[in-house]
Chains A and B, each alone.
Chain A
Amino acid sequence: MAGKVKWVTDIEKSVLINNFEKREWVQVTENDDWNFYWMSIQTIRNVFSVDTGYRLSDDQMVNHFPNHYELTRKDLMIKNIKRYRKELEKEGSPLAEKDENGKYNYLDFVPVTFMLPSDYNLFVEEYRKNPSSTWIMKPCGKAQGKGIFLINKLSQIKKWSRDSRTSTFVAASSGKEAYVISLYIDNPLLIGGKKFDLRLYVLVTTYRPLKCYMYKLGFCRFCTVKYTPSTSELDNMFVHLTNVAIQKHGDDYNHVHGGKWTVSNFRLYLESTRGKEVTSRLFDQIHWIMVQSLKAVAVNASPSLTSSTANDRILKYNLINDTLNIVAPNGDVPDCRWNRSPPREALGNYQVLYDEELQAQSDHGERDLRTRSGQSLGSKGTKGSAGARPPAATWK
């Protein structure tokens, strides 16, 4: 007989605790025999560090995978993607196809990026090909927009050169990079003249086989100030960065709506101004990128659970609710032997992003290049046979 799920958390957020309480789960401490532990990043790090060698028992579940620390750092993410691409190329996988200019047909979703200081010389070589370009520097271990800045002159980052005597960054010996530097995309899609980014929630229940779900109610976050590519505004972080954490301190930040749109608003806007086909293709490509990134084991795993507006709190509460319904169906105590493919009705506002098990059950090898309705991705994707539609994976 299933007992009540025993839960622990070290994050005092109402969206979590209310969800546990409404399922009448029992709160315990971490020293007790817990089933479900919603851990903060620090705790995950400690619990799963190489030294402790902690292993979950069969009836225990946590909210992050142990290797997640490898996922949250930008340098590791880049390394994973680059490695993933090379592996596919070695295998001769059609996914790793390149065009006549050497660009990946299906895996070109990260701008040119280097790690600093280790790739400094490679970066300089690339920079010199186009010295008027702008690049964005992001510290590897930080989130919420902290420490990010733009550069357009080599002198601005000379201090990160590996050989520099005045190098100020630490841990060259630990093998950890300080920054990643990427080519800045200065012609982003603007809405109402403003730049925005997409905050989408993805739940991964297993990596092997890969099962992941995307929350349908993601959102766009808008910059409060009009976007201008002019170089004089490079220092104005309100123009370029869209993390709410930074926008909150801008003068024009509006606390009623928090500068956000739902993804469905965004979709309506795009369909209305650009047409349905282009919009469908965009969303298919976004989903594609998510799946490929997960496959490369490269995903940022620490969403903010702080709610900035009332609407936001409701969204996050529902998000956690739907998440718990998927990972702990019927509110039962976890059992690692479960078949983890929930039926469609149990998904709530999640939709299946990718289910490797279900994919494997239908027998076409070219499947990976296709999304629903047999359309191929990207403007160059006209090759390949008309594969069968992946079963059970409808985006609607």
Chain B
Amino acid sequence: MDDGSELSLSVAHIVRRLKGSHLHAQIERRAKECLHQPEIRLDSLREDVRRFLRTSGWERQLQNAVYRELQVQRPPSHPAAPLEHLKEPLAYMRKAQACWEKRVLKSLNSMSAELGVPLARMRPAAEQKELTSKWNEMGTDEPDLTSFRPVFAPKDFLEVLISLRNPNYDSSEDVGVRSHWGLIQVPLDVRDIPQLRRAYAELNLTTGQLGIDDHAHIHPDLFENEYLQIGKKVVVEQDSAAAQQYSRQGCSTGLRADLWALILNSNNQPQDAMHYEQLTAGVVQHDLLVDSLIYKDVKLTASNDDYYFVFEDFLYQVLLCFSRDTAVLEHFKYNSATPPRSFVQGKGEDEECAVVYPPNGVIPFHGFSMYVAPLCFLYNEPSKLYSVFREMYIRYFFRLHSISSSSSGVVSLCLQFERLLQTHLPQLFYHLRQIGAQPLRIAFKWMVRAFSGYLSTDQLLLLWDRILGYDSLEIVAVLAAAVFAFRAENLMEVTSLGSAEAVLADLSTLKVMPLIQIFLFATAI
């Protein structure tokens, strides 16, 4: 298929997506209103209206919306491609994901049956009233959660990834030095250091970075001040693409909230606030079984975290609403996962009576709240916090717990981590393998959470700047390898998995950008 028709396919796709959207209605209305203005002339109507839309900032907003569509859901490359290829092109991956989903759902259903707790129930009026009055302090609630278990923990998921096999791939020829020493045994194409150097060129040693060149001992005139001025201009321009490019070198703390919102095209639309209000009403009306899982997760993880315990109540307000947000179902078009279905009691097993459960199709697992927690440092208004989190989830986080061949998917990240380590620190990898401490077993939990809860907050935000800037989670795998490289000397001394874990237990003092920069650009190849 030639470029021309592929382009027109993309254009058609995007037009379809934006048609009838709120932005479309607004632009139309503004265009109609501007007809009253004297500078709009009949004989040059088209150009004049377009100029008006440009100078009033509406063209920029449209541009950002188009950019968002391009980022989030690549238009189908062929009109005849089946929908499931958009979710996941490789059949064996689709199958593995379906299997995994069945297990998770089974676990949820048996918990429901064992505990006698329904998947969903309507709250009686008194309970609704109480919840409304306690909306801002749900953290003080102490429901008995001892009998609830998380539906799965990251290590369960890891076992599934380890068992993945491509039935078309015969790896028997790869025995010996060329074989893969790690746990992931599927042949996905992941980038090596030379390729990463090209792709992440802005991180090289000669380019200024936040996280390195804003250090206290470096005079701000050398980099920081000018970089900050550029950042301010980017915010004023309200250009998503520019913000994304800018973020590659890091976001200044004072501008980060605005820049991320720009990149994610999460602008303060009144309908977002309204939508959030509706979701909170939904929380008040119905109690879901997953709510208890969320409570438990927050209590076990975020509430015990040195940085995030303060935001416990915000986390409930975001996650409980998230579970009920059917707008999230959109993302299953490009997610290899498929939302679980459940049947309404009393209506039999008729397909037509199936509902998606939970309403957003995402079953939370142990550590899920850590995706939200760092954002609380940036946004203190619940509906904005919610909106940014939702967009981060449907662009990035979902890939960390679904089985797919995407280069940002957790399978690729694991494989990339292992390959980077094996290629550049073979002695270390070999040693760890010999003592029964496969590196992925330690690094997996970091990557599934995109390092949230393991790094200090300021460092984590610098890392997530680059995830947004490069629109990829690859940097997470690179950092994981860089951490091992950094602690290689100590790791060579250990003789058990337990002691390897101990060496890598505390990452809170790490400075991520120097580690990444050195690993990518100063490693001999």
Contacts and interface: CB of A to CB of B under 8 A. Distances in A.
Q: Are A and B subunits of one complex?
A: yes
Interface of A: 191-194, 222, 225-226, 252, 254, 256-257, 259, 261, 264-265, 268-269, 271-273, 275-277, 279, 311, 396
B140 A226 contact: yes
A269 B377 contact: yes
Contacts of B378: 272-273
A192 B306 contact: no
B312 A192 contact: yes
Q: Which of B140, B310, B380 has the most chain A CB atoms inside 10 A of its CB?
A: B310
A271 B210 CA distance: 15
A192 B311 contact: yes
Interface of B: 136-137, 139-140, 216, 252-254, 256-257, 303-307, 309-314, 376-380, 457-458, 461
Contacts of B254: 271-272, 275-277, 279
Contacts of B377: 268-269, 272-273
A273 B457 CA distance: 14
A268 B216 CA distance: 15
Contact of A271 (B140, B253, B306, B380): B253
Contacts of A225: 137, 140
B310 A254 contact: no
Nearest to A265: B307
Contacts of A252: 139-140
Contacts of A273: 257, 377-380
A272 B256 contact: yes
A264 B257 CA distance: 18
B137 A192 contact: no
A264 B216 CA distance: 13
21 contacts: A192-B314, A192-B376, A222-B310, A225-B137, A226-B137, A252-B139, A252-B140, A257-B306, A257-B309, A261-B306, A261-B307, A261-B310, A265-B307, A271-B253, A272-B257, A272-B377, A273-B378, A273-B379, A273-B380, A276-B253, A276-B254
A273 B384 CA distance: 12
Contacts of A194: 310
Contacts of B257: 272-273
Name B's interface SS: helix
A257 B253 contact: no
A273 B379 CA distance: 6
A396 B215 CA distance: 10
Contacts of B312: 192
A191 to B, nearest CB: 6
Nearest to A255: B304
Q: Which of A192, A265, A279 has the most chain B CB atoms inside 10 A of its CB?
A: A192
A193 B137 CA distance: 8
A286 to B, nearest CB: 18
A256 B312 CA distance: 15
A254 B137 contact: no
Given A268-B458, A272-B378, 17 more contacts: A192-B313, A192-B376, A222-B310, A225-B137, A226-B313, A254-B303, A254-B309, A256-B304, A257-B309, A264-B458, A265-B307, A265-B457, A268-B253, A272-B254, A273-B257, A276-B252, A276-B253
Nearest to B138: A226
Contacts of B252: 276
A96 to B, nearest CB: 33
A264 B508 CA distance: 14
A259 B309 contact: yes
A225 B313 CA distance: 10
A396 B307 CA distance: 22
A256 B309 CA distance: 10
B295 to A, nearest CB: 14
A218 B376 CA distance: 22
Nearest to B215: A396
Nearest to B308: A192
Contacts of B310: 191-192, 194, 222, 261
A229 to B, nearest CB: 13
B313 A272 contact: no
Nearest to B309: A257
B440 to A, nearest CB: 29
B304 A226 contact: no
Nearest to A279: B254
A363 B306 CA distance: 45
B301 to A, nearest CB: 12
B177 to A, nearest CB: 46
Nearest to B378: A272
Nearest to B315: A192
What 8 A-B pairs have minimum CB-CB distances, sorted nearest first? A276-B254, A192-B310, A271-B253, A226-B137, A275-B254, A192-B311, A396-B216, A272-B378
B217 to A, nearest CB: 8
Contacts of B137: 193, 225-226
Given A225-B137, A276-B252, A268 B309 contact: no
Given A193-B137, A252-B139, A272 B307 contact: no
Contacts of B253: 268, 271-272, 276
A194 B140 CA distance: 12
B225 to A, nearest CB: 11
Contacts of B139: 252
A272 B311 CA distance: 15
Nearest to A309: B306
Nearest to A225: B140
A265 B461 CA distance: 12
Contacts of B458: 264, 268
Nearest to B137: A226
Nearest to B379: A273
A254 B311 CA distance: 14
A111 to B, nearest CB: 25
Contacts of A275: 254
Contacts of A259: 309
B131 to A, nearest CB: 15
Q: Which of B216, B309, B378 has the most chain A CB atoms inside 10 A of its CB?
A: B309
Contacts of B256: 272
Nearest to A220: B310
Contacts of A257: 304-306, 309
Contacts of A191: 310, 380
A44 to B, nearest CB: 35
Contacts of B380: 191, 273
Contacts of A269: 377
B505 to A, nearest CB: 14
A396 B311 CA distance: 28
Given A254-B303, A273-B378, A268 B313 contact: no
B506 to A, nearest CB: 12
B123 to A, nearest CB: 22
A192 B318 CA distance: 13
Q: Which of A226, A277, A279 has the most chain B CB atoms inside 10 A of its CB?
A: A226
B304 A254 contact: yes
Given A252-B140, A273-B378, A193 B313 contact: yes
A259 B458 CA distance: 19
Contacts of A268: 253, 377, 457-458
B236 to A, nearest CB: 14
A251 B493 CA distance: 45
Q: Which of A254, A268, A272 has the most chain B CB atoms inside 10 A of its CB?
A: A272
B463 to A, nearest CB: 14
Contacts of A222: 310
A256 B303 CA distance: 9
A193 B136 CA distance: 8
A269 B311 CA distance: 12
Contacts of A265: 306-307, 457
A165 to B, nearest CB: 44
A167 B307 CA distance: 47
Nearest to B306: A257
A252 B303 CA distance: 11
Q: Which of B140, B306, B376, B458 has the most chain A CB atoms inside 10 A of its CB?
A: B306
Contacts of B376: 192
Q: Which of A252, A261, A273 has the most chain B CB atoms inside 10 A of its CB?
A: A273
